[in-house]
Amino acid sequence: MATVNKNLSHYDQSTIPNAANMRFGIVVSEWNSEITDNLYKGVEKALLDNGANADNIVRWDVPGSFELIYGATLMGERLDVDAIVVLGSIIQGETRHFEFISQAVAQGIKDLNMQIDIPIILGVLTDDTLQQSIDRSGGKHGNKGIECGIAAIKMAHLRNQFSDEE
């Protein structure tokens, strides 16, 4: 696993743009909610720790990880946000369902990043076991949500730099 020697919560705050004037959308899967709620807390912490206003963080819940694609699409169309983070947890089971959903979600978010002018950060854990998900959503490997929040700030800043030049 790529996170074996990495803590997902560590970053150098001096390298992060101030998020005070940015608005963020977060779409959260209700499936495996004990994991996705922890991921959300990580994103929210990263955003607030780097200057975001709590009123500029919008959360929408969707039933599962597959629905993150439509949730992000709708959010991008309906809300004025600088970046969107999608959060899900897909845990390997006994069938190939895991592979199909993981692939579809990654492809769907990739496609959205090419279609709309809002960065969408993929924060979907794809783990073999529940313990691996726990370890990556606030456990011994930190919280992937924090990493996603930092990515959202950086990508929103990049987008806004180019918007300011026009």
- Residue 9 is assigned to a structural domain of this protein: no
Confidence (pLDDT) at 11:
80
Tokens of 35: 């994991």
- Residue 104 is assigned to a structural domain of this protein: yes
Confidence (pLDDT) at 105:
96
Distance, in Å, from the CA atom of 39 to the CA atom of 137, rounded to the nearest integer, reads 5
- In this structure, how many other beta carbons lie within 10 angstroms of the beta carbon of residue 153? 24
* Amino acid letter for position 28: V
- Long-range CB contacts (< 8 A, 24+ apart) of 53-57? 53/20, 56/22, 56/23, 56/24, 57/23, 57/24, 57/26
* Amino acid letter for position 62: V
CATH at 98: 3.40.50.960
How do beta strands 57-62 and 24-29 pair? parallel
Strand partners, 150: none
- Residue 5 is assigned to a structural domain of this protein: no
- Residue 15 is assigned to a structural domain of this protein: no
Our count of domains for the chain comes to 1
DSSP 17: P
Per-residue pLDDT of the chain (166 residues; tens, 9 = 90+): 455 567 768 887 888 999 999 999 999 999 999 999 999 999 999 999 999 999 999 999 999 999 999 999 999 999 999 999 999 999 997 777 888 999 999 999 999 999 999 999 999 999 999 999 999 998 899 999 999 999 999 999 999 988 766 5
- Residue 48 is assigned to a structural domain of this protein: yes
Q: What are the percentages of helix, strand and coil residues in the chain, rounded to 5?
A: 50, 20, 30
Confidence (pLDDT) at 113:
95
The residue annotated as part of the active site, out of 10, 97, 141, 157, is: 97
**Contact yes or no for 118/83 (Cβ under 8 A):** yes
Tokens of 59: 């959360």
Q: Which residues of 96-120 are buried (b: 16+ CB within 10 A; e: fewer)?
A: eebeebbeebeebbeebbeeeebbb
- Residue 10 is assigned to a structural domain of this protein: no
Catalytic status, residue 97: yes
| Structural domain span for residue 65 | 22-165
- Residue 1 is assigned to a structural domain of this protein: no
Label residue 80 exposed, middle or buried (CB < 10 Å: 0-12, 13-18, 19+): exposed
- Residue 14 is assigned to a structural domain of this protein: no
